[in-house]
């Protein structure tokens, strides 16, 4: 059905208010990836049960699978059905054009990630294209997120160990964060402090001292990508320091697949797979509720 420009702008104002509340009240908002309706329902159920604000997010591949307008309509429909505070984030948009399409579709949060499509993109190219998205987003008021370099890993289950000495080479720095935020005018800085896309066979470790130094240097929101597989105490402290958004994908994908495999094994003669999905949704809801508790956002929704 789509939204009017007035509705889009009103939603973006509310999204900005949410980020302000997160900073003032020291909680983070979970941004949960979806690539199917069952995951979306589970996120909405968790948000309702915990009275928590949430972000539903889609990356480029998920957009191609579902469609921008379809995602907008589905989220709006379930937002009404469940009576929740929910917004949409376009995650890792690889180009200016793709980011603009997300803005046009009424997404409240836009993550422009030029280095995702081109790992060798120059600083100048990343800054210039990020500025183009920031300028375009002024029409609706959408919040723009970005980072100055490629962020490693993938939203999958990794069996290799984490080489922190190598990863530290791509950590954000307070000086670099400040320079990038001032050059681009972004609303949200995606910090790299030990967070890494995907889930590994060892827990991730976040450099919270580095996060605190970055927080002192920039006034905009801070997000953490690659939140899956991270012990909860890191998130609790990160929210206290001033992180406003944490991305979760792999933990949901793993719970989805493992639970569905179990249900398929338990019901070998059932070919109407939709009849097996309730247990999957329950497992996903449990994951989301666990993250909400970690992030401190339970009871923080404003409807």
Q: Per-residue DSSP letters for 234-294?
A: HHHHHHHHT--EEEE-HHHHHHHHHHHHHHHHH-TT---GGGGHHHHHHHHHHHHHHHHHH
Catalytic pick among 35, 91, 187, 207: 91
pLDDT band of residue 196 (cuts 50, 70, 90) is confident
User: What's residue 160's pLDDT?
Assistant: 66
Helix axes 123-137, 174-184, angle to 10 degrees: 50
Nearest to 298 by CA among 214, 215, 235: 235
- Which range among 47-61, 104-118, 149-163, 286-300 shows the weakest confidence by mean pLDDT? 149-163
3-state secondary structure of 175: helix
pLDDT exceeds cutoff 60 at 7: yes
pLDDT exceeds cutoff 70 at 162: no
pLDDT exceeds cutoff 70 at 152: no
User: What's residue 117's pLDDT?
Assistant: 81
- Which range among 22-36, 175-189, 200-214, 218-232 shows the weakest confidence by mean pLDDT? 200-214
Distances (CA, A) of 29 to 143, 169, 175, 195, 295: 14, 28, 26, 16, 7
- What's the token pair of residue 184? 């681009």
Residues 6+ apart with CB under 8 A from 68: 101, 102, 105, 107
Rounded Cα distance between 185 and 122, Å, is 18
What percentage of the chain reaches a pLDDT higher than 70? Answer: 94
Please state which CATH number belongs to domain 5-295.
3.20.20.70
pLDDT exceeds cutoff 80 at 140: yes
pLDDT exceeds cutoff 90 at 157: no
pTM listed for this prediction: 0.94
3-state secondary structure of 203: coil
164 vs 298, higher pLDDT: 298
User: What's residue 3's pLDDT?
Assistant: 95
- Which range among 145-149, 187-191, 296-300 shows the weakest confidence by mean pLDDT? 145-149
Is 91 annotated in the active site?
A: yes
195 vs 244, higher pLDDT: 244
What percentage of the chain reaches a pLDDT higher than 90? Answer: 84
pLDDT exceeds cutoff 90 at 261: yes
Mean pLDDT of 278-282: 98
Within 13 Å and on the Cβ side, how many CA atoms surround 245?
34
- What's the token pair of residue 65? 């699978």
Can you point out the beta strands (E) in the chain? 29-33, 54-58, 86-93, 109-112, 143-146, 153-157, 188-191, 197-199, 221-224, 245-248
Mean pLDDT of 11-26: 98
User: What's residue 154's pLDDT?
Assistant: 55
Within 13 Å and on the Cβ side, how many CA atoms surround 116?
22
User: What's residue 105's pLDDT?
Assistant: 97
pLDDT band of residue 200 (cuts 50, 70, 90) is low
- What's the token pair of residue 47? 């948000």
Phi-psi region of 2 (alpha: psi -120 to 50; beta: other; left: phi over 0): left
Q: 230 and 206 in contact (C-beta within 8 Å)?
A: yes
Rounded Cα distance between 190 and 111, Å, is 9
User: What's residue 202's pLDDT?
Assistant: 61
User: What's residue 259's pLDDT?
Assistant: 98
């Amino acid at each position: 059905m789509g939204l009017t420009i007035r509705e889009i702008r009103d939603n973006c104002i509310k999204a900005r208010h949410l980020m302000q509340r997160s900073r003032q009240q020291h909680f983070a908002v979970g941004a949960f990836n979806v690539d199917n309706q069952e995951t979306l329902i589970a996120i909405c159920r968790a948000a309702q049960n915990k009275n928590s604000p949430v972000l539903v997010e889609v990356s480029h591949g998920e957009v191609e699978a579902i469609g921008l307008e379809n995602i907008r309509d589905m989220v709006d429909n379930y937002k009404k059905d469940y009576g929740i505070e929910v917004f949409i984030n376009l995650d890792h948009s690889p180009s200016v054009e793709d980011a603009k399409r997300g803005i046009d579709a009424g997404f409240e949060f836009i993550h422009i990630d030029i280095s995702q499509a081109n790992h060798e993109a120059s600083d100048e190219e990343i800054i210039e294209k990020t500025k183009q998205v920031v300028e375009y987003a002024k029409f609706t008021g959408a919040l723009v997120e970005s980072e100055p370099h490629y962020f490693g890993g993938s939203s999958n289950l990794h069996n290799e160990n984490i080489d922190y000495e190598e990863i530290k080479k791509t950590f954000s720095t307070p000086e670099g964060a400040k320079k990038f935020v001032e050059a681009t005018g972004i609303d949200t800085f995606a910090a790299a402090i030990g967070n890494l896309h995907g889930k590994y066979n060892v827990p991730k470790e976040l450099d919270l001292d580095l996060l605190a130094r970055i927080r002192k240097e920039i006034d905009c929101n801070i997000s953490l990508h690659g939140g899956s597989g991270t012990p909860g105490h890191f998130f609790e402290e990160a929210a206290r320091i001033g992180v406003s958004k944490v991305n979760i994908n792999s933990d949901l994908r793993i719970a989805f697949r493992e639970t569905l495999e179990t249900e398929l094994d338990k019901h070998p003669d059932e070919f109407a797979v939709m009849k097996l999905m309730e247990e999957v949704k329950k497992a996903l809801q449990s994951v989301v509720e666990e993250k909400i508790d970690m992030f401190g956002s339970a009871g923080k929704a404003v409807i």
